[in-house]
Amino acid sequence: MTERRPPLWPAYLATFAFWVGTWAAFIAMPLHVVALGGTAAEAGLLAAIRAGLQAFLQLPVGAITDAWGTRRVLLIATFVNALVNLVPLLAVAAGTTLPYYAWAVASGTAAAFFLPGTSAYVAEQARPEARGSAFGWLTLFTHTGVAFGPAIGGLVWDWGGPAPVFVVATGIGLAAALAASFLPGGVSQRLRLRRLPAMVGEVGRQRAIVGSWIAALAIGIPWGSVSGLFPLFGTGIGLGAGTIGLILASQSLANGASRVPLGRLIDRSHLPPIVAAITAAGYGALIMTLGFQSAIPALVAILVIGILLLASTLMLVQVTITEVAQPALRATGLGGYGTALSTGLAIGPILTGSVADAHGFAWGFGIIGAAGIAVAIVAAVVLSGTRRRPAVAVFEE
């Protein structure tokens, strides 16, 4: 008799709504900052603050999720994420970029709670032989949301400017909280902060997990550059906000559509973890060429092909960590993955924005793509010879 497991659909729907709202707001942020008299470097700094907090917090939040349970963590994340998108209305009213710094802090914190929580729920509730497919569906909903978000945000911006974008983002974010409320409650424990270093140390002793974290960092550095600053690059070569949103939507749709087939491939082929480092290096190489393009077909081709390499990397990283980590420490391991990825997302835009202000986006994207390749080489060294095998339990509660 097949074991009955809690449903995955509430996590999938919450994920979709969370990222639609987040990215509708995120495409408006750099455009409004520049409209208020800020620079590309300031927009990059705000993106870096948000991603940096998301990076710093995910590893400890993963350990918190292992103690508290996913439902409580995801309800906190979705409500905060929805309400924080009202903060930029203060920037609209006051004509200053200062409220965006509060938005960046709160938005990054909410994302830090959401990411390890959803990944841990799917890892726990999916059937072991179908975890790759389950993560594929999770990221299909993620990147469908990421696709719709910029498109909706760009079109609403063209229609009514920044204020309507953030109101729409808030409403969509509340739908994510509603979906999260359907998650089953789990058994929660009293959080003992003194246990956190031991939990992190346990997952950090496994080379396959550490190498996977480094591969995620290698993807995050160039991806952060593209996701944070492509709107400014696009307007610099004469594209409208709506067109930019649709270009970003095309890569996100390709990202989402590829995830379920990639998940099945990972489930059936047992690809070694080092493949994640190889595909990460390929993504960095493609981004190096992005700043030299101005034609829409070339931009779409680079982003879509690159996103397939990105998807391959991150899917294999998630599955490797899920299979290698002990069940009681999966959220901790996945939190470390989120920390590594988000660290790259923080580094990418601030470095690219600074270089682009001085030398243009061709140099900015070129340098950041090369940095991604260098980190991918380190990941390949660490992952060499590792396999996706469950760890021997040595950690004691």
User: For 124-168, how does the pLDDT look when each residue is reduced to its tens digit (9 = 90+)?
Assistant: 777 766 777 787 788 778 877 877 888 888 888 888 888 899 999
Q: Is residue 6 within 8 Å of 135, Cβ to Cβ?
A: no
The whole-number average pLDDT for the span 246-273 is: 78
pLDDT score of 395:
44
Structure tokens at 233: 């690059």
Average pLDDT over residues 334-348: 80
Average pLDDT, the chain: 81
Whether the pLDDT of residue 47 is over 50: the answer is: yes
> What average pLDDT does range 284-293 have in this prediction?
89
Mean pLDDT value across residues 244-272 = 78
pTM > 0.75: no
Per-residue pLDDT band for 17 (boundaries 50, 70, 90) equals very high
Per-domain residue ranges of the chain: 9-186+196-383
Enter the tokens of residue 278.
Answer: 């190889």
Which is higher by pLDDT, 130 or 49?
Answer: 49
pLDDT at position 54: 74
Q: What is the mean pLDDT of residues 46-52?
A: 80
Question: What's the confidence (pLDDT) of residue 63?
Answer: 67
pLDDT score for 369: 92
Give the CATH H-level superfamily of domain 9-186+196-383.
MFS general substrate transporter like domains (1.20.1250.20)
pLDDT at 388: 65
User: What does the pLDDT average to over 268-281?
Assistant: 87
In percent, how much of the chain has pLDDT > 90? 19
- pLDDT score, position 283: 94
What is the model's pLDDT at position 204? 62
Q: What integer pLDDT is reported at residue 394 of this predicted model? A: 44
Least confident of 296-305, 369-378, 385-394: 385-394
What pLDDT is recorded for position 285? 93
Q: How confident is the model at residue 397 (pLDDT cuts 50, 70, 90)?
A: very low
Give tens-digit pLDDT for 161-218.
888 999 999 999 999 999 988 887 654 455 555 565 666 666 667 778 888 889 999 9
Per-residue pLDDT for 333 more than 90? no
Residue 320, pLDDT score: 85
Tell how far CA 342 is from the center of its chain. 7
Q: How far apart are CA 18 and CA 30, in angstroms?
A: 20
Please state, in angstroms and as integers, the Cα–Cα distance from residue 221 to each residue in 77, 121, 132, 342, 378, following that order: 24, 27, 24, 8, 14
Q: Return the percentage of the chain with pLDDT > 70, whole number.
A: 88
Q: Which range is most confident: 14-23, 131-140, 311-320?
A: 14-23
> Which tops the pLDDT comparison, 269 or 310?
310
